[in-house]
Amino acid sequence: METTEDAFFERRIRVRQHREGYRFSIDAVILAHYAAGFGTFPGNGISMPPRHILDLGTGCGIIPLIIAFRRPADRITGVEIQDELARLAEENVQRNGMADRITILHKDLKHIRRENLSAPVDLVVSNPPYRRPGSGRLNVQSQRAVARHEICVALPDVIRAAARTLDISGRFAAVFPAERLVGLFLEMQTAGIEPKFLRLVHSRRDTGAKLALVEGMKGARPGLSVSPALVIYRENGSYTEAATEMFRG
């Protein structure tokens, strides 16, 4: 499948994507920026020790690449069910010289267990399929359809995989449609992951929230912290300062 190449952080990261297949969007960048510790929580100025991060549904590997760039001491494992995407993610890791920090597993996340991983997991991140089966028009490109619709993996599968691999007090972070927040919170609580942080994401200041950035902690007590909204675009269509910061090297 033909690929294109995009560059980030003054061209210090180069990412190949399939031209006609699934292509990541800004939601993956938001999640990676947050997971690297630059978000409101836990990015509170306290230095975090090196971590092992698990990315469920890594696609072309964009989230591990950004985290590894921001925090070279972290180790990241990306899990991807689609063969072509898993191979592309591995290629991106190699091309960026990050094979010592990032491992790509071509595996169904429903079968991920702790024994499949090289070390205990401190943080699980995921940009899971957004749409339920039968909702919206199914993309004719199968790679995009699997990434965006709950075809191979549904939301409960993602949450259960996170719960299986995390120790008590381990964290789970995801970007998900705001309209499905109730279902996300319910699945997290059912799996023993208590929602602890919420930040709504708006395209523009005068529009409703389409996405939500959520973090939970396994085995935590109830209590949700709500951050000020993240706005992506100014009225003239340019990125806001908060969005621009996510792309700075």
Q: Which pTM value belongs to this model? A: 0.88
**How far apart are the C-alpha atoms of 197 and 200, rounded to whole Å?**
10
Residue 21 is predicted with a pLDDT of 78
**How far apart are the C-alpha atoms of 186 and 193, rounded to whole Å?**
10
- Asked whether the beta carbons of 195 and 224 are under 8 A apart, the reply is yes
* Joined tokens for residue 36: 């690297």
- Asked whether the beta carbons of 66 and 8 are under 8 A apart, the reply is yes
* Joined tokens for residue 134: 């039968």
Residue 8: left if φ>0, alpha if ψ -120 to 50, beta else—which one?
Answer: beta
- pLDDT < 50 regions, the chain: 40-45, 138-141, 143-147, 149
Helix (H, G, I), strand (E, B) or coil at 194: strand
Residue 218: left if φ>0, alpha if ψ -120 to 50, beta else—which one?
Answer: beta
Residue 149 is predicted with a pLDDT of 40
**62-70 vs 26-33: helix crossing angle, rounded to 10:** 30
Q: Where are the alpha helices (DSSP H) in the chain?
A: 26-33, 62-70, 83-95, 142-148, 155-165, 181-190, 241-245
Task: Report all structural domains of the chain as residue ranges with CATH numbers, in order of start.
Answer: 25-245 (3.40.50.150)
Beta bridge partners of 124: 54, 172
**How far apart are the C-alpha atoms of 125 and 109, rounded to whole Å?**
12
- Asked whether the beta carbons of 152 and 81 are under 8 A apart, the reply is yes
